[in-house]
Amino acid sequence: MQGMWFFFFSFLAIGLAFNSCTKDDPAAKASLILKTGSSYTPAGAYIPVGGIIKIGVLASGAGAPLTYIRIDRITGNDTLTQLDRGIYAGSQGLDADYTFSKDTSPYELWRIMVMNADRDTAVRTLVVFKGTGTAYGPLNHFENIRLNFQGNHSSGHFLDVNTGLVFDETSVSGHESEIDLCAYYYVTSGLPSPTFTCPGYTAAVAYYPQFAGWPVKSNIVYDYYSSDNNLVSMAQFDSAANDSLLVTAFRPDKVSGNCKYGYTGKVIPFKTQQGKYGLVKVVHADEKEDGVIDIAIKIQK
């Protein structure tokens, strides 16, 4: 009987030990304010179609890092997400400006939301109205741009889309922060894949190791939806005289991120880190690592 009691109590003690509980810490509260001042769009502003809406964000996770920001444009019953981005902003919080283009809706509610690692959210809204006239702006058109893939070192790899200048591995020194676009070639799922990317894309360093040492690395986001579905034709690209096509072709809820297949004949909408909209037309893309890709660029001035 003594043994039976020992058996019973030892078993019970171990079982209880495994059922102890812990108390969760209370969740940190996120906070968010919108910047004010002459350079930011005020609440109730009237903006002409194509005009710029600039939103400045100051946010804090209050003890937990900020990990997410989303900006939605709400027109009537339609909600179009303009920015949906994972971030990591620690104790310094988030201080960032975002620019968008006014579309044809008479009334727009802009909803800005941040979330911290405790999944606590803070939301602010901004209402803007359609102003009179249009504010589509001029564009720059750069033709006959040739970029080398990673295995071709005969000329330049790195493009500044604002000027159309192409830099090679030597001449890029001192211009790193101006570089927005480059291209590489690889095979995926058995398919040849000439690809656009940017210095800020993590995996790009595999093709251009020098990116690892660049102090500033710019990002471009490419819209795959428009290009994969041929929503912008080469003829439309050629006839675009102002930035209206550049702005409207870009689907912010369908961006593919920092890289995009650049097959011959495709027109790919993009948005630079400075908030400029643009289109890249692929005139010809080789299908080899030591090949080239010939493109033309149209970008907001």
Partner 1 sequence: MYHFVLNCIGIFTHKRKIVGAVVFVSLFFAFLSPTVSGQSCISGLIVNSTGSKPVSDANIAVSTIKGTTSGKNGTFSFCNLPSDSVILTISYVGFETLKYKTFLKPGDNNLGALSIIPAVINMDEFIVTATRTDNRLMNIPVRVNLISPKMLSSLPIQNIDEALRYAPGINYSRPFGIYSTKGIISMRGMSGKEQGRVLVLIDGVPVNKSDGGTVDWNMIDINSVQKIEITKGAGSAIYGGNAMGGIINIISKVPDSRSFLKASVEYGTYNTFGGKVSTGGKFQVKNKDNSGYWLANLSAKQSDGYVTQSETDVKANPYIVKSNMKEAGVNFKTGYAFAGKHSIEAMVNYYNDKRGTGEKVYQPDGNTTDHDSYGIIVNYRGTFEKLKLNSSLYSLTEKYKKVNEYLKDDYTWYDVLSTRRDLGWFTTASASIGKVNLLTGGFDFKNGSVDAWDKYYTSTDIVYNKGKMSTYALFAQDEISLLNDRVRVIAGLRFDMAQFYDGGFYIENPTMETSFMVGGGYQVPHMPEQNWHEFSPRVSIQYKWNEVSRIYAMYSHGFRPSVLDDLCRSGRIKGGFKIANPAVQPESLNNYETGFDLKPSSKSTFAASVYYSRGTDFQYYVSNGKTIDMGFGERPIFIRANISDVEMYGAEAEIRYDVLNSLTVFANYAYTHSTILAYHKITETDTIDLAGKFFTDVPAHTFSAGANWNNRILNLSALVHYNGAMYINDQNTVDEIMLSDQYAAYTTMDMKVWKAFKTHYKLSIDIQNLFDVKYYDSKYAVCPGRFITAEFAVNF
Interacting residue ranges for partner 1, rule: CB under 8 A: 1-4, 6-7, 10-11, 14-15, 18, 65, 67-68, 70, 81, 84-88, 115, 117, 119, 121, 187-190, 201-203, 205-206, 209, 212, 219, 221, 224-225, 228, 253, 255-259, 261
Which structure tokens are listed for 202?
A: 């993590």
Smallest distance from partner 1 to CB 150, Å: 12
Nearer to partner 1, 10 or 104 (CB): 10
Pick the closest to residue 150 from 286, 271, 260 (CA basis).
Answer: 286
Smallest distance from partner 1 to CB 49, Å: 26
Nearer to partner 1, 14 or 235 (CB): 14
Smallest distance from partner 1 to CB 191, Å: 10
Question: Phi and psi for 297 in degrees, rounded to 5?
Answer: -125, 135
Nearer to partner 1, 113 or 139 (CB): 113
Smallest distance from partner 1 to CB 224, Å: 6
* Virtual torsion, Cα 42, 45, 49, 55, nearest 10 deg: 10
Nearer to partner 1, 79 or 163 (CB): 79
Tokens 């080398």 map to which residue?
Answer: 148
Nearer to partner 1, 119 or 301 (CB): 119
Nearer to partner 1, 51 or 252 (CB): 252
| DSSP class per residue in 229-272 | TT-S-HHHHHH--STHHHHHH--GGGEEES-EE--TT-EEEEEE
Q: Is residue 32 within 8 Å of residue 114, measured between CB atoms?
A: yes
Burial of 63 (0-12, 13-18, 19+ CB in 10 A): middle
Smallest distance from partner 1 to CB 25, Å: 15
Smallest distance from partner 1 to CB 219, Å: 8
Q: Is residue 202 within 8 Å of residue 86, measured between CB atoms?
A: no
Which structure tokens are listed for 164?
A: 């159309």
User: What does the alpha-carbon distance between residue 299 and residue 135 come to, in Å, rounded to a whole number?
Assistant: 15
